[in-house]
Structure 1
Amino acid sequence: MFLLIYTFGILKWTQTELGTLDCKVRKLLTAYHRVAVWKSKEFNGRFYKALPGPNVDQIVSVSWLQFEVLNCSGKWRLESLDSGLDSELKDNMSYNEELFTTRMRKATRKVHSVSDALINAKFAFSLRDETVWGGGLFVFYHIFAFLEDAKNRLNMPAFDKLFVHKILFRKQAFEEDLCHYLGPNWKSLPKSLALENYLEHLQNLERENPQLLMAYVYHLYLGLLSGGQILAKKRNVFGENNHDQVKYIDKVTDFTGADIPQMKIDFRQAMNEIASSMSEDEKQAFIEESNQVFLMNNLIVNSVGGQNKVLYNMLYKTSAVFLVIAGVILAYRYHK
C-alpha cells in the first residue's frame, strides 16, 4: 500500500489511485502551460508518495489540492478531486503573474477579429478562383521568407528559440504552392504598395530593434498552425476543384507527421520564456508591435486582387441562368 503524505496528515491510497491522480495533475499542468513549474516542483505545499520504509520521494508540491468528497467505501473520489484541481489551478494561475502570451492575446483581440473577418471574406472568393488563393500566398510568402532569412542573418538565440521545430520553416513550401497556382514565373509578379511598405517596416525593425521581429514570427506561424489549418480543410471540402481525380495538396499548410497541438504548446512556452527576460517596457513595445502585425496583415490581404473577376463571373453566370429561365417562360406563354 502506498501512502500519500499531505500537510494535514496521512492518507492511504492504492497504487492505481495515486497513478491516476498523478496523471490528472500532469495533464492539467500541461493544459495551462505549467510544464516548467511541474518539472521544477516549485509549488508552496508538499505532495509526497511514500514507499514502504523510511524513504520518501517528493513528486510535486500541490498545497492547493482540495480533498472534499469521500464515497461510501471511504476511498477518495477522483472525479470530484479532478474538478477541484481544475478550479484551484485556475485560481493559482490568476494569482501568479499572467502569462505573456495570454496578455498579448487579450491586447490584440479586437484587431485580430477584424483580421480574421477580412481573411475569411477573401477566402470565400478563393474557393471559386485559385488565383485569389495564389495571390494570398504570394503576399505572405514574402513576409515568411523575410523572417526565415532574418533568422539566419541575425544569429539571435531568442529568435532561434521560437522556431521550436524544423517543420515550421515554410519558405520552400510557399514556393512550391506559388509555382502551382501562379505558374513558374511567379517571382516576376509585381508587389503591391502595401507589401512593399510591410517589407520596408520589417527591414527597419531588423536594423533598429530586431527583438520586435519576433512578434511577427509568433503571430504568423501560430496563425498558420491554427487558422491556416482550418482554411486548408475548408478548401479541400468546398473548393471548386475538389472533384478532380488528382487533387493538389497545399504544401504551405501541410504539417504531416507533426504533432500540431504539442507544437503550439511548445511555441507559446518558448514565447513566455523569452518574455520572462524582457523588461516591462520591452513587453509593452512587443504588445504594441503585435497589434501592428495584424494591421499590416490586413493591408496586404486587402491588396490581393481577383475578387472583382470572381464577382463578374458569378454575376455573369447568374444573368445567364436568369435569361434562360426568362426565355423558357416567354416560350411557354407564346405557345400556350
Structure 2
Amino acid sequence: MVAIKGCANNNQVQRIEATDSIIKYKDNNDDGHQRFANLYPGKKSYPVTCSENCYPITNELLCQTDSPADNCQFEGEQVVPTIDSGFTIQWLGHASFYIQSPDGSSFLIDPVSQQFDWPVNWAFRIDSGFNRNEPNWLSTAQEQQLDAILYSHIHYDHFNKSDIERIGNSPTYFVPLNFADHFPNDEYRINEMAWYASEKVNEVTLHFVPAHHFSSRIWVPKLYEDNDKTLWGGWVLEHKGKRIFYAGDTGYSQHFKDIQKQYGDMDVCLIPIASYFHSEQGDWYRYVHTTPEDALVAADELNCKVMIPWGYGNASWKMGDLSSHSALQRLLHMVKQLDTKTPLYILNEGEQVQF
C-alpha cells in the first residue's frame, strides 16, 4: 500500500506499507504520541560471549598502538568469494556505504561525511573533544549521479542534514516511518517505509527490514525530541535473486532469522561489530549493538555468502569502543574460535570490492 502523506514543506512524501508489513508500537505513551517498539524486547540470551583474551594482537592489523588496537590498517590476505552478484560495494567509513548495482543504479546508505549536525557537534567539541577523523568521500560527480539514498535510522552518526542539503533533491530518499519531518524544505522525494515494505529503483528492489535498536534526536544536549517517534531498521537490496543485506545499527535478536525466512539467503551481509563496549553501561550497549561474535552468529542465521563488518575504523567516533579497531581485533579472534560458516571480507575505509 502506498499512501501519499502529503506535500508539506514542499517535499513529496509517500508512506509505503505492504500486506505483510509490520509496525509495532509501545504500549504506554504518556504524552499521547505513538512510539515504535522492537519486535523482540526484553532481556536477551546471547548464543556466545567472549569472556577473556578477546583482543589478542594480530599481524593482520598494522596499528600505531596494538593494545588496544588504534589507528590501524587491515593487511591480511583475502580472497574475494565468487558470488556473481554484479554489485560493487565501497565502505566510506563508520556506517556509510556506496553501492553500485549491475543495472547501473547507485545507492548511498547512511551518508555522514563530516561530524554530527549542529548543535551536537559544537557541544561535543567544547565538552569532550568528541569528533572523528573525517573520511575520504564521494566526488561531486558521483553524488550527482546517485539514484537513491537510504537511511536506517535518525541517530546523528547515521543521518546528517548537511549531507542531504549538499547532495540535494535529485535522488529519491528512502527512510523509516515518520522520518520525513526532519528533512529540509526543498522539494525532496521521500518514501517512508514500514518493516517489510518494498519499492523498486530501476531493476533493484529495496526492502526495509527490522532491526533491534531505537531512535532519538537531540536538539540541545540532554534534551531529546524524538524518542522512538521515528522507526529504525535495515535494508535488503535485491537484483535478479542476488541480495545485499545492510543491518543498520542493531542488537542481536530473532529478527535476523525472520529476515532470512522472509527473503531467503543473503549474498553479501554488511553487519556492524562496534559500539557494544561500555564499562558502566555494557548490558545496554550490547542490547542495541551487536558484538563481533553476535555479528558472526547473525551472519550464519542469514546464510550469508560473505560478511563485511563495519562500525569501527579510523574515521569512526569510537562510541562505546576501546579504540578505533578493537572491535575488528575481537572479530578476527572470534572467527577463529567459532565454528562459523560465513567467510569474512575486511575493507579499510574507502576501499571497494565487487562480488
Per the TM superposition, whether the score is higher than 0.5 is: no
Select the structure with the greater relative contact order (CA < 8 A; seq sep ≥ 6): 2
TM-score, length basis structure 1: 0.23
TM-score, length basis structure 2: 0.22
